[in-house]
């Protein structure tokens, strides 16, 4: 269970791109706790300096301010690295609809730069962030790898392309690539601010300020909300996965299904709030329901998530109470 007992060579070096962001900083923290070296590459466009400052005094931590869209930066960052955990990307489906060219540059070209740099530097494993958005409009639940529908946003397209490059780099160059199809990750250090903030931290911040959040749609949409520690486990176990599991994508979730309106009421109850939400229009590019079959990740990666939704939500609320 979990990842605390995972063993790597004592001199192992990890590179976490996007390491100043939400998922990336949690990965850096976990690697440092395990006693290994970590390089963090981030341009701080969406990542936060405060997430760098948390670890900067640790001798096993190195911060590189740089951009994955620059191949030379990627090449330099990959020197002496054993495992790359590529989290650097721009998220948000609605924002990608507004900025498709930028998403292509960062999420596709940037990821390709990192794969090429990893290949040329002899990196052992290249683990990268994909997304449940690649399932598009495919109606069947739970979502199973290999059963994808029509894509609904530029963001989803960038992640699908990343997966295709992952397959090619595995087949053509022998680089072990592992795509992590994240399902609605939440937890500590997730940014609650801005128009494109994720729903859980955004709602928590508003409720704690006695404000009424706006739910897009009727609130009856469902998601497989996944606590960030489960994602950390998946990334680290992918680094130890067999070569035969490379070149593939994996659903990374808990395997549950939560309805947004129920989550909202759970938050209100936990925080002791009695606030009626507002309801707004559906968001363009969003899917109605999402729920993951995690059999493949369990079988090929040994993924065995510890944190169910309720446990994760409680931990997240405790963190936001202390840090907002």
Q: What is the pLDDT of residues 59-110, one digit of tens each?
A: 999 999 999 999 999 999 999 999 999 999 998 888 999 999 999 999 999 9
The DSSP string of 76-112 is HHTTT-SEEEE------HHHHHH-HHHHIIIIIIHHH
In a domain, 278, yes or no: no
Find the catalytic residue in 61, 103, 155, 320.
155
Predicted structure pTM score: 0.95
In a domain, 245, yes or no: yes
In a domain, 120, yes or no: yes
Pairing of strands 258-259, 222-223: antiparallel
Give percent of the chain with pLDDT exceeding 70: 99
For residue 171, what are the contacts with CB-CB under 8 A and spacing of at least 6?
247
User: In terms of residue numbers, what domain contains 244?
Assistant: 13-185+228-256+286-306
Residue 86: CATH number of its domain: 3.40.50.720
In a domain, 131, yes or no: yes
- In terms of Cα–Cα distance, which of 239, 232, 233, 241 is closest to 301? 241
pLDDT per residue as tens digits for the range 139-150: 999 999 999 999
| H-state helical runs in the chain | 22-34, 49-53, 71-77, 93-98, 100-103, 110-120, 154-173, 199-208, 228-239, 260-271, 295-301, 309-323
How many domains does the structure of the chain reveal?
Answer: 1
Tokens of 288: 């109605």
Of 47-56, 286-295, 313-322, the range with the lowest mean pLDDT is: 286-295
pLDDT per residue as tens digits for the range 189-237: 999 887 767 889 999 999 999 999 899 888 898 899 999 999 999 999 9
As a dihedral over the C-alpha atoms of residue 16, residue 20, residue 24, residue 29, rounded to 10 degrees, the angle is 90
**Residue 155 annotated as catalytic:** yes
- In terms of Cα–Cα distance, which of 46, 28, 127 is closest to 86? 127
- Whether residue 276 contacts residue 322, with contact meaning beta carbons closer than 8 Å, is answered with no
In a domain, 200, yes or no: no
In a domain, 62, yes or no: yes
pLDDT score recorded for residue 197: 73
In a domain, 204, yes or no: no
In a domain, 37, yes or no: yes
**Mean pLDDT of the residues in the chain:** 95
pLDDT score recorded for residue 236: 98
- Whether residue 195 contacts residue 280, with contact meaning beta carbons closer than 8 Å, is answered with no
């Amino acid at each position: 269970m979990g990842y605390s007992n995972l063993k790597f060579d004592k001199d192992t070096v990890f590179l976490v791109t996007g390491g100043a962001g939400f998922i990336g900083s949690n990965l850096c923290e976990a690697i440092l706790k395990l006693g290994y070296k970590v390089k963090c590459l981030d341009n701080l466009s969406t990542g936060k300096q405060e997430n760098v400052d948390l670890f900067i005094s640790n001798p096993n931590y190195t911060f590189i301010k740089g951009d994955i869209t620059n191949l030379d930066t990627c090449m330099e960052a990959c020197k002496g690295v054993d495992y790359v955990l590529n989290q650097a990307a721009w998220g948000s489906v609605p924002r990608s609809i507004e900025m498709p060219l930028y998403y292509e540059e960062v999420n596709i070209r940037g990821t390709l730069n990192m794969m090429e740099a990893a290949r040329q530097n002899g990196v052992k494993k290249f683990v990268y962030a994909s997304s449940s958005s690649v399932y598009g409009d495919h109606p069947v639940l739970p979502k199973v790898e290999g059963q994808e529908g029509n894509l609904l946003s530029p963001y989803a397209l960038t992640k699908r392309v990343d997966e295709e490059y992952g397959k090619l780099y595995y087949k053509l160059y022998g680089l072990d690539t592992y795509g992590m199809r994240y399902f609605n990750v939440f937890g500590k250090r997730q940014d609650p601010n801005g128009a494109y903030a994720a729903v859980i931290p955004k709602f928590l911040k508003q409720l704690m300020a006695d404000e009424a959040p706006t739910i897009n749609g009727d609130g009856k949409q469902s998601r497989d909300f996944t606590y960030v520690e489960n994602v950390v486990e998946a990334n680290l176990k992918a680094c130890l996965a067999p070569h035969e599991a490379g070149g593939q994508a994996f659903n990374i979730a808990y395997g549950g299904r939560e309805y947004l309106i129920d989550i909202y009421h759970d938050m209100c109850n936990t925080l002791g709030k009695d606030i009626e939400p507002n309801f707004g229009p559906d968001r363009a590019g969003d899917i109605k329901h999402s729920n993951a079959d995690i059999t493949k990740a369990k079988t090929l990666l040994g993924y065995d998530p510890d944190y169910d939704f309720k446990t994760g939500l409680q931990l997240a609320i405790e963190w936001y109470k202390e840090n907002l």
